[in-house]
Structure 1
Amino acid sequence: MRKHRFTIGLIVVVAVVSIYLLFNLRLFSGAAHDEKSVTLILQTLNVRHDFWQAVNEGAEAAAKEIGAKLNVEGPLSEEDAASQIRLLEEAIVRKPQAIVIAAIKHNRMPAALAKAREAGIKLVIINYSPAMKPAPAVVSSNHTEAGKLAGLTAIEETSGKPIIAVISDFADSLTSEERLAGMKLALDGYPGSMLSPLYAEGSEERAYELSKQLLLSDSPINSIITMNASASQGAARALMEYNRAKSISLIGFDSTSDEVKLLEAGIIRAAIVQKPFNMGYLGVKTALKLIEGSAVEPITYMDSNVITKQNMYTSENQKLLFPFINSK
């Protein structure tokens, strides 16, 4: 009799444990299955690039809000398209639910992005709008409008008589092409006011040499517009060296810590500042909506701000100039 009761008790215990384990296994599996996974591939993860670090901060904030798993990757150099494509192909093999990528322009990139779609991975492009059909969801600064702002700022800084030298990064940069198009729109009523672009190819030293050549020539320029941080720093060096910062207005893009110091010193007259934190945040938010099956806008554009020494201390502009401090 005792043996019979012991056997029944043992069966009950085993049944209870089995039900408990089965329930928790299903619960755990369900939680893992429901966790949204997003891979963010930046143009670079180099900590010296404040812009992409701010994009990363925004992306992490969006993922944290909803409890999504975010994996962030990127090459060491902004120009290393081959490494970025390799990172993209490796991410496709891992099959996250969505990939958010600030794609570097390269002839192999469209095919690599198409592979992500073929694998059923949701795709969001940030920072520019690529030529793909059907077009992916895009979250980007409005580079044409930003260029227009630069042109209008040059007109204002020169009292309506701009003669502008442009120092760009690369001749095939889509971002710079769009900014140049915006400048031309702003300068439509000022024929001959913008010289042909010069290309520093991402080198501060080359931007310095190009600026020095302009200053030593007979060119009557009264403004220099630089397309990226390294060009701004190189042009600023030349203006300071030749004591021309007061007679030539330097207008730059973005807001690295070095550029902020130059802005505060009055060497850079105005900076056209994007909103990289917002870009990262909205990029991941858009990806999460796509994972959920929700409709999203085909293109989400963000405006840029014109920041000068006079307005750089406003609350809004401090958030743009120091996104890391304000995101804590």
Structure 2
Amino acid sequence: MKKKVLAALLSTAMVAALLSGCGGKADEPAAPAETEAPAETEAPAESEEPAESEAPAADAGSMSFEIVSKGLQHEYWQAVKQGVESKAAELGVTVNFVGPDSESNIDQQVQQLENALNATPTAIGLAALDTESVKGQLQTCLDKSIPVIGFDSGVPGAPEGSVLANCSTDNYAAGALAAEKVYEAVKGRIDGTVRIGVVAQDATSESVVNRGLGFIDKFAELAVADGHTATVVGNEKYISDSKCEKTDGANVVIDVRVPAQVTSDASLADVNSLLGEDGIIALYGSNEHSANAIISAAENHSEIGVGDDKVIAAGFDSGSAQIEAVKNGVLLGAITQAPVAMGEILVQTLYDAAQGNPVSDADTGCQWYTAENIENPEIWDNLYGK
């Protein structure tokens, strides 16, 4: 009996197998469905590619950048702000550009950076007046994974990894360029002991310090190459950081003056003091504020100007007062940055960093302008005070 049952079961299984095999051939319409399956699997992948390429544009509207500058009172910062806002509009991001009332008001800038952190931005741009004062906030940015990009003076000595890149002029090289031009104008007058005055707004910000050091080091280098001896006197920061070997009895004395407070009156007093020194043959103002102090002094000191019997003066930046002083022969020339381009590059770098893309330092450039070349398009386009 058991054998009959087993035989019946085997027969049934064989029939089912045969029917199944025949069914696979008979269901030919099912084949296209199988060949279409890969297409259905690939379709979502194809539709995901446009979504990925469109992601930055879709996310841009939700991006907000807090930008803390050194101030708003000078035309230079207004030009940077112009570049920032132009690029932000192009990318479709929101920006908030702030700065202290004075470039000596470190506490106010620290508070503005605190406010920027409290706004929970996508990224932060910072031109620090004093790195030491903002190290705590930068560490917070690092802890919260908020990208920080430095600009103008940047944030030298910031906590490692807290500042991803810096967008600025190579300030040291720019100062050296000014020194080359001034030295060329006065080298024939170095007879006996002469004094070169450097008027610096401060001894804390990277940009101002490096513009001063670049000038000091290059001027001393050129003087020594011509057989002179050189030394640096005045502000201790510039004395200690300069590459110029300190030499007693040097015949080229580079005298650096830094006011106790960043005010027009204080810097004007520094210029007047330098003009009272024996052997003064040149002056250099390492930013708009300091250059304007020299220009103000020229109103009462006719010895400042261009000529063999004049105190040769040079400036940095391109506010309206400097442009006129260069045109009128009060200043030999000045260094112009590209502040609008700096603002544009800053926002683009913030945008890239916020997207997680690699970023790197960007040199935003500089040029020496004089009464002779000021109207050349490559110069004129970078003068923000025109």
TM-score range, shorter chain: 0.7 to 0.9
State the Cα deviation string for residues 291-317 of structure 1 (Å, max 9, x = none): 1121111x2122211011111111122
Instruction: Kindly provide the amino acid, as one letter, of the partner of residue 198 in structure 1.
Output: R
Q: Distance between the aligned counterparts of 1:73 and 1:215, measured in 2?
A: 36
Aligned to 1:40: 67
Aligned to 1:4: none
Instruction: Kindly provide the amino acid, as one letter, of the partner of residue 62 in structure 1.
Output: K
Q: Cα gap change, 1:313/1:231 in structure 2, threshold over 3 Å: closer, same or farther?
A: same
Secondary structure of the structure 2 residue equivalent to 1:108: helix
Q: Distance between the aligned counterparts of 2:136 and 2:188, measured in 1?
A: 46
Q: Distance between the aligned counterparts of 1:119 and 1:41, measured in 2?
A: 18
RMSD, matched Cα: 2.2
State the Cα deviation string for residues 272-300 of structure 1 (Å, max 9, x = none): 11111111111110010011121111x21
Aligned to 2:109: 84
Instruction: Kindly provide the amino acid, as one letter, of the partner of residue 72 in structure 2.
Output: L
TM-score, normalised with respect to structure 1:
0.82
Aligned to 2:316: 253
Aligned to 2:165: 137
Ranges in structure 1 where 5+ consecutive residues have no aligned partner: 1-29
2:181 to 142, 153, 163: 153
Secondary structure of the structure 2 residue equivalent to 1:189: helix
Structure with the greater alpha carbon radius of gyration = 2
Q: Residue 265 in 1 paired to residue 337 in 2?
A: no
1:95-174 to structure 2, matched below 5 A, reads 95-129=120-154, 130-132=156-158, 133-134=160-161, 135-159=163-187, 161=189, 163-174=195-206
The offset of 1:57, in angstroms, is 0.6
The offset of 1:227, in angstroms, is 1.6
Q: Distance between the aligned counterparts of 1:91 and 1:238, measured in 2?
A: 39
The offset of 1:194, in angstroms, is 4.2
Q: Residue 300 in 1 paired to residue 365 in 2?
A: no
Ranges in structure 2 where 5+ consecutive residues have no aligned partner: 1-56, 224-228, 231-251
Q: Cα gap change, 1:169/1:286 in structure 2, threshold over 3 Å: closer, same or farther?
A: same
2:372 to 298, 305, 310: 310
Aligned to 2:12: none
Secondary structure of the structure 2 residue equivalent to 1:100: strand
Aligned to 1:189: 222
Q: What is the aligned residue count?
A: 291
Q: Residue 241 in 1 paired to residue 300 in 2?
A: yes
Tell me if the contact between 1:166 and 1:194 (Cα under 8 Å) persists in the aligned partners: no
The offset of 1:160, in angstroms, is 5.0
Aligned to 1:212: 272
Tell me if the contact between 1:142 and 1:303 (Cα under 8 Å) persists in the aligned partners: yes
Q: Distance between the aligned counterparts of 1:68 and 1:35, measured in 2?
A: 7
Q: Distance between the aligned counterparts of 1:213 and 1:77, measured in 2?
A: 24
Instruction: Kindly provide the amino acid, as one letter, of the partner of residue 310 in structure 1.
Output: E
Q: Distance between the aligned counterparts of 2:72 and 2:125, measured in 1?
A: 14
Tell me if the contact between 2:164 and 2:359 (Cα under 8 Å) persists in the aligned partners: no
Q: Cα gap change, 1:108/1:96 in structure 2, threshold over 3 Å: closer, same or farther?
A: same
Q: Residue 282 in 1 paired to residue 314 in 2?
A: no
Aligned to 2:226: none
State the Cα deviation string for residues 106-134 of structure 1 (Å, max 9, x = none): 53311112212222211111112421212
Per mean C-alpha deviation after superposition, the further-off stretch among 139-148 and 236-245 is 236-245
Moved over 3 A (4+): 30-34, 159-163
Q: Cα gap change, 1:321/1:106 in structure 2, threshold over 3 Å: closer, same or farther?
A: same
Tell me if the contact between 1:270 and 1:309 (Cα under 8 Å) persists in the aligned partners: yes
